[in-house]
């Protein structure tokens, strides 16, 4: 077994590999860029080597620097994680040529499966079901449109070296095919250094289901059941679960056997994933093979009891698999939510900055948090938006959903925006709970985007009661201030008015042992909690039912976070509420004459010129942030008066880019 391994990655996955290596008694070496000098994976590793500037193409993607770090530290093997160089054939080959073990498949397996065009041909030869399409590299957008017409819309335009949703677009007409081709080429070139693109038929109402496989150097192969990955936004997975609520035993077995046949055909040695698109009729087609560890591997670990990172290390060290297909079971139900640094209420735009508060749920046998960040750390614009993975394990799917909802309630993130409200809304959505969904679920259920009204909360009395509880806590403390004139001490009353969204809710809040009783709308709510002023997490019970929510005080407003919903409430006397209603409201400034950057990022393209007439929906600029291109379009017909930024500028949030007449 290896004594020391180097992790050629960063963030969550680097920390994940370090955890298993430490359990196995293996020393670890981290590599880091300028932006990551204070990162968690650097702190956790036994050694750390600086490899260059923040941009990944100057650090994490530079093979020579990784190899030099191995030689400098004496690392015997390299774990590539996912992303970056993890599916790079040349990197795997060069590592092996240097006498260092690559903790992943051999370079020839990566070459055959990493190229999406060649992998489809090989899959067909191995008798794996494949989707109709044009499997040769396409020369330009016009050819892409012609090919799309022949195949028939909708089509999927995809980078040959793509992965993780990068370099992928679905086109429903000629215009989308033309634009989609250009975006795919640019994203593929920037992310993978390979701009080849191909096109295939897009299966209507598809489900994205993948099979985890394991192979060793002795010819042994097993499949570790499936993962359901159909809940996606912009082709990026949002929620993953294992097993799938859709598959039956016969389909699972057929998919698993085809996945193993493909792995055997390329002499695959390591953990890998064969992705399938599955139609409503349960017919399945090969999509691609990911020759690396998947982001969502923890759900498979939960239901099988295996440590996939450990399996990868043991296979790389030449050991045989110790399990057979008959040993693979399904124990309960696992679910994973990707917690991303993005604002769901602003079109899921990237959110960067400092984590002023980061308190994940308490880890247990049923709750796991994989992360590469810490409170006070920085979320950088240079890397992807995922800051943590929240994974739960239940006895069945309903239990897993219940545990996930509770865990999301207690996940505290401040300083940046996160997609936790969106995840909480998905957990409560009847269609998600039923298991009747496909990859179009988010687009179909949220066609006009996501806003606060889409986060259901069916217990407003709980929020009102807690707001009254918290306010009484503050008032009772102020009543105890020293130095009050004897006989004129402050008296705290029991009658209050809770105000939310202009609505007034009269309540009576009285102290009792361990909490308060709150009378609201003719009912009494007994709220018990040991919550203290300043704490973000509020754990308690309401009429005997336990709950967890988050609370913050901002001057006169209490912000409550529960089930993904945020409730802004004020609590005051009836007279103060009456006077507040008479106060005039200040109208917000009119910013419709400006195009303002909604995120920090790099200005890649300006599609207009001064004096140009622009129609609603036309492209104005392209901003790159967190490895994704974001197109900003005109919200209405306008004329360009002034362009205040230039291509290549690093934009700040709310920075003016264009002024209109």
Give the pLDDT of residue 463.
Answer: 96
The mean per-residue pLDDT over the stretch 163-189 comes to: 88
pLDDT per position as a tens digit, 464-490: 999 999 999 999 999 999 999 998 988
Sign of the CA dihedral running 133, 134, 136, 137? negative
CA distance 387 to 415: 13
Give catalytic residue positions.
Answer: 288
Residue with tokens 């239940």: 394
Distance from C-alpha of 629 to C-alpha of 216, rounded to nearest angstrom: 38
Please tell me the CATH superfamily of domain 110-131+207-331, with its number. Answer: ATP-grasp fold, B domain (3.30.470.20)
Range 455-462, long-range pairs (CB < 8 A, 24+ positions): 455/421, 455/424, 455/425, 455/563, 455/564, 455/565, 455/566, 456/425, 456/428, 456/563, 456/565, 457/562, 457/563, 457/565, 457/567, 461/520, 461/521, 461/523, 461/525, 462/525, 462/542, 462/547, 462/549, 462/562
Q: Which H/E stretch holds residue 467?
A: helix 460-478
User: Alpha-carbon distance 233 to 456, whole Å?
Assistant: 20
Question: Whole-model pTM?
Answer: 0.84
Which pair of structure tokens corresponds to residue 43? 């702190």
**What share of the chain has pLDDT > 90, as a percent?**
78
The residues with which 605 forms a beta bridge, in sequence order, are 622
Stretch 99-118: mean pLDDT, rounded? 92
Over range 644-658, report the average pLDDT. 92
Second CATH level (architecture) for the domain 594-660: Beta Barrel (2.40)
Outline which parts of the chain fall under CATH 3.30.1490.20: 132-201
Which tens digit of pLDDT belongs to each residue from 549-573? Answer: 999 999 899 999 999 888 999 999 9
- Residue 555: its pLDDT value, please? 87
Q: At what angle do helices 308-316 and 297-304 cross, to 10 degrees?
A: 90
- Return the residue matching tokens 């680097």: 14
Nearest CA-CA partner of 407 in 231, 534, 564, 236: 564
Instruction: Enter the tokens of residue 367.
Output: 């709750």
The CATH architecture of the domain made up of 460-478+492-580 is 2-Layer Sandwich (3.30)
Q: Which 8-state DSSP code applies to residue 20? A: H
Calpha distance 306→294 (Å, rounded): 14
Residue 215 or residue 152, greater confidence: 215
Predicted pLDDT of residue 352: 86
Cβ-contact 90, 63 below 8 angstroms = yes
The architecture CATH gives domain 4-103 = 3-Layer(aba) Sandwich (3.40)
Q: What is the mean pLDDT of the chain?
A: 93
Query: Residue 575: is it exposed, middle or buried by C-beta count within 10 angstroms (0-12/13-18/19+)?
Result: exposed
Question: Can you read off the two tokens belonging to residue 343?
Answer: 């604002």
pLDDT exceeds cutoff 70 at 522? yes
Q: Is 627 helix (H, G, I), strand (E, B) or coil?
A: coil
Token pair in block for residue 610: 């001064």
Average pLDDT rounded to a whole number, residues 170-186: 92
Asked if the model's pLDDT at residue 55 lies above 80, the reply is yes
Give residue 628's pLDDT: 77
Handedness of CA 79, 84, 89, 91 (dihedral sign): negative
pLDDT, residue 381, reads 82
Any alpha helices (H) in 152-244, and if so which ranges? 174-192
Coil, helix or strand at residue 368? strand
Structure confidence at residue 517 (pLDDT): 98
In the predicted structure, residue 53 carries a pLDDT above the cut 70? yes
Would you state the pLDDT for residue 164? 64
Nearest Cα residue to 66 out of 43, 111, 98: 98
Note whether 147 and 200 are within 8 A (CB): no
**Would you say 162 and 145 are in contact if contact means Cβ atoms under 8 Å apart?**
no
208-227, pLDDT tens digit by residue? 999 999 999 999 999 999 99
* Residue limits of CATH 3.40.50.20 in the chain: 4-103
Indicate where the chain has its CATH 3.30.470.20 domain(s). 110-131+207-331, 332-455
pLDDT tier at 646 (50, 70, 90 boundaries)?
Answer: very high
d(CA 153, CA 148): 6
Say whether pLDDT at 454 is over 90.
no
Residue linked to tokens 């309540």 = 507
Q: Range with the lowest mean pLDDT among 56-65, 157-166, 581-590, 636-645?
A: 157-166
Strand 557-562 to 545-554 pairing: antiparallel
State the Cα–Cα distance between residues 201 and 285, nearest whole angstrom.
11
- CATH 2.40.50.100 location in the chain: 594-660
Q: How many CA atoms lie within 13 A of 59 on its CB side?
A: 20
Q: How far apart are CA 379 and CA 355, in angstroms?
A: 7
Q: Which of 243-252, 393-402, 409-418, 646-655 has the lowest mean pLDDT?
A: 646-655
Higher pLDDT, 520 or 202: 520
Q: Which residue has the higher pLDDT, 159 or 372?
A: 372
In this prediction, residue 459 carries a pLDDT of 87
- In the sheet where 133-134 sits, what is the strand order? 133-134, 197-201, 155-163, 166-171
Q: What's the average model confidence in pLDDT over 635-641?
A: 92
Q: At what angle do helices 141-151 and 174-192 cross, to 10 degrees?
A: 120
pLDDT of residue 500: 93
Is the Cβ–Cβ distance between 48 and 29 less than 8 Å?
yes
DSSP string for residues in 397-436:
HHHHHHHHHHHHHT-EEESS--SHHHHHHHHH-HHHHHT-
**475-489: b or e for each residue (b if 16 or more CB lie within 10 Å)?**
eeeeeeeeeeeeeee
**Tokens, residue 383:** 């890397």
Residue 446: half-sphere exposure toward Cβ, Cα within 13 Å = 24
**3-state class (DSSP) for residue 74:** coil
With cut-offs at 50, 70 and 90, classify the pLDDT of residue 158.
confident
Question: Could you tell me the pLDDT band of residue 163, with boundaries at 50, 70 and 90?
Answer: low
Contact of 401 with 335, CB cutoff 8 Å: yes
Residue 650, Cβ neighbours under 10 Å: how many?
11
From-to residues of CATH 3.30.700.30 in the chain: 460-478+492-580
The SS3 call for residue 447 is: coil
Asked if 560 and 461 touch (Cβ cutoff 8 Å), the reply is no
pLDDT, tens digit, 9 for 90 and up, residues 267-313? 999 999 999 999 888 989 999 999 999 999 999 999 999 999 999 99
3-class SS of residue 46 = coil
Evaluate if residue 165 carries a pLDDT over 80. no
H-helix or E-strand containing 144? Answer: helix 141-151
- For domain 332-455, the CATH class is alpha beta
The reply to whether omega before 154 is within 30° of 0 (cis) is: yes
Answer yes or no: is pLDDT of 393 > 80: yes
The pLDDT assigned to 625 comes to 82
- pLDDT value for 136: 80
CATH level 3 topology of 132-201: Dna Ligase; domain 1 (3.30.1490)
Write out pLDDT tens, residues 312-358: 999 999 999 999 999 999 999 999 999 999 999 988 888 888 999 99
Dihedral sign for Cα atoms in the order 170, 171, 177, 182: negative
Alpha-carbon torsion 602, 605, 606, 607, what sign?
A: negative
Q: Are 105 and 270 in contact (CB under 8 A)?
A: yes
Kindly list the distances between the CA atom of residue 565 and the CA atoms of 362, 421, 511, 552, 561, in Å, as whole numbers in the listed order.
Answer: 21, 6, 27, 14, 6
């Amino acid at each position: 077994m290896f004594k020391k391994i180097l992790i050629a990655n960063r963030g969550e996955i680097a920390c994940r590999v370090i955890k298993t290596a430490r359990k196995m008694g293996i020393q670890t070496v981290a590599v880091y860029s300028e932006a990551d000098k204070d990162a968690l994976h650097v702190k956790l590793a036994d050694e750390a080597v600086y490899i260059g500037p923040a941009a990944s193409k100057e650090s994490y993607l530079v093979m020579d620097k990784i190899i030099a770090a191995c030689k400098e530290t004496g690392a015997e093997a390299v774990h590539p994680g996912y992303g970056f160089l993890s599916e790079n054939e040349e990197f795997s080959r060069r590592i092996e040529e240097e006498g260092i073990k690559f903790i992943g498949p051999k370079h020839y397996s990566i070459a055959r499966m990493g190229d999406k065009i060649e992998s489809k041909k090989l899959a067909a030869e191995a008798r794996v079901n494949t989707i109709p399409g044009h499997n040769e590299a396409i020369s330009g957008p016009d050819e892409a449109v012609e090919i799309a017409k022949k195949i028939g819309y909708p089509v999927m335009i995809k980078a040959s070296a793509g992965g993780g949703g990068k370099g992928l677009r679905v086109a429903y007409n000629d215009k989308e095919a033309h634009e989609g081709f250009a975006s795919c080429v640019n994203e593929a070139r920037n992310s993978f250094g390979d701009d080849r693109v191909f096109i295939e038929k897009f299966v209507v109402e598809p489900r994205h289901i993948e099979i985890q496989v394991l192979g060793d150097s002795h010819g042994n192969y097993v499949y570790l059941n499936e993962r359901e990955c159909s809940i996606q936004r912009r082709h990026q997975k949002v929620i993953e679960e294992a097993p799938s609520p859709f598959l039956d035993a016969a389909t699972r077995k057929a998919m698993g056997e085809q996945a193993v046949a493909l792995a055997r055909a390329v002499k695959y040695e390591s953990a890998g994933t064969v992705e399938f698109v599955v139609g409503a009729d349960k017919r399945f087609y090969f999509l691609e093979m990911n020759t690396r560890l998947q982001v969502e591997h923890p759900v498979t670990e939960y239901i099988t009891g295996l440590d996939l990172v450990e399996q990868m290390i043991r296979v790389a060290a030449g050991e045989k698999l110790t399990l057979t297909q008959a040993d693979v079971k399904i124990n309960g139900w696992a679910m994973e939510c990707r917690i991303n640094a993005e604002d769901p209420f602003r079109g899921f735009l990237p959110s960067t900055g400092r984590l002023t508060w980061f308190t994940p749920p308490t880890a247990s046998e049923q709750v796991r948090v994989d992360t590469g960040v810490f409170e006070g750390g920085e979320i950088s614009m240079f890397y992807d938006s995922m800051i943590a993975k929240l994974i739960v394990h239940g006895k069945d799917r309903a239990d897993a959903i219940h545990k996930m909802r509770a865990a999301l309630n207690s996940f505290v993130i401040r300083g940046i925006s996160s997609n936790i409200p969106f995840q909480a809304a998905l957990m409560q959505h009847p269609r998600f709970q039923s298991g009747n969904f496909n990859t179009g679920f988010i687009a179909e259920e949220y066609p006009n985007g996501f806003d606060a009204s889409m986060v259901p909360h069916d217990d407003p009395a709980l929020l009102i009661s807690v707001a009254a509880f918290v306010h009484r806590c503050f008032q009772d403390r102020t009543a105890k201030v020293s130095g009050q004139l004897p006989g004129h001490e402050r008296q705290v009353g029991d009658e209050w008015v809770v105000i939310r969204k202009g609505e007034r809710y009269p309540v009576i809040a009285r102290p009792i042992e361990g909490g308060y009783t709150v009378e609201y709308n003719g009912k009494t709510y007994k709220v018990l909690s040991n919550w203290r002023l300043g704490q973000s997490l509020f754990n308690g019970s309401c009429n005997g039912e336990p709950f967890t929510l988050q609370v913050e005080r901002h001057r006169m407003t209490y912000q409550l976070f529960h089930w993904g919903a945020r409730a802004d409430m004020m609590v005051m006397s009836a007279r103060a509420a009456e006077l507040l209603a008479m106060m005039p409201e200040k109208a917000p400034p009119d910013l419709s004459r400006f195009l303002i950057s909604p995120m920090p990022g790099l200005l890649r393209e300006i599609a207009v010129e001064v004096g140009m007439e622009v129609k609603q929906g036309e492209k104005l600029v392209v901003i790159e942030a967190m490895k994704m291109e974001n197109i900003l379009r005109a919200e209405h017909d306008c004329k360009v008066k002034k362009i205040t930024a230039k291509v290549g500028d690093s934009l700040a949030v709310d920075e003016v880019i264009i002024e209109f007449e």
